[in-house]
């Protein structure tokens, strides 16, 4: 799946893609959770997982800050793949969309 499959307006997809591209270029980023499963409400949060390395910690922080300050009409939770439990990784892998 890709970003077009995520339950959100196109203008929000465009903004999300731009921010991810600005702060984490050439980094894998997935959307998971209710917005990809089709169970979200209009203001449900958006769940992201980023595949970063320790050297990218500042960029992850800057992305989180930019998302908080953006005009997106919902909260965005950003998780780092290496910091989540294996069982949660397996859940994420069942259904996700690739942003980058």
Catalytic residues: 45, 47
29: DSSP letter:
E
Q: At what angle do helices 10-23 and 57-69 cross, to 10 degrees?
A: 150
Inter-residue contact 6 to 36 (CB < 8 Å): yes
How far is residue 7's CA from residue 39's CA, in Å, rounded to a whole number?
A: 9
Tally Cβ neighbours within 10 Å of residue 68.
11
């Amino acid at each position: 799946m890709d970003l077009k499959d995520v339950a959100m307006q196109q203008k929000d997809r465009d903004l999300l893609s731009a921010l991810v591209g600005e702060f984490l270029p050439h980094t894998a980023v997935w959307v998971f959770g209710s917005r990809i499963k089709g169970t979200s409400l209009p203001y449900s949060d958006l769940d992201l997982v980023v595949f970063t390395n320790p050297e990218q910690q500042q960029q992850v922080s800057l992305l989180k800050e930019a998302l908080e300050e953006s005009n997106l009409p919902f909260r965005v939770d950003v998780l780092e793949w290496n910091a989540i439990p294996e069982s949660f990784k397996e859940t994420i892998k069942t259904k996700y969309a690739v942003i980058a």
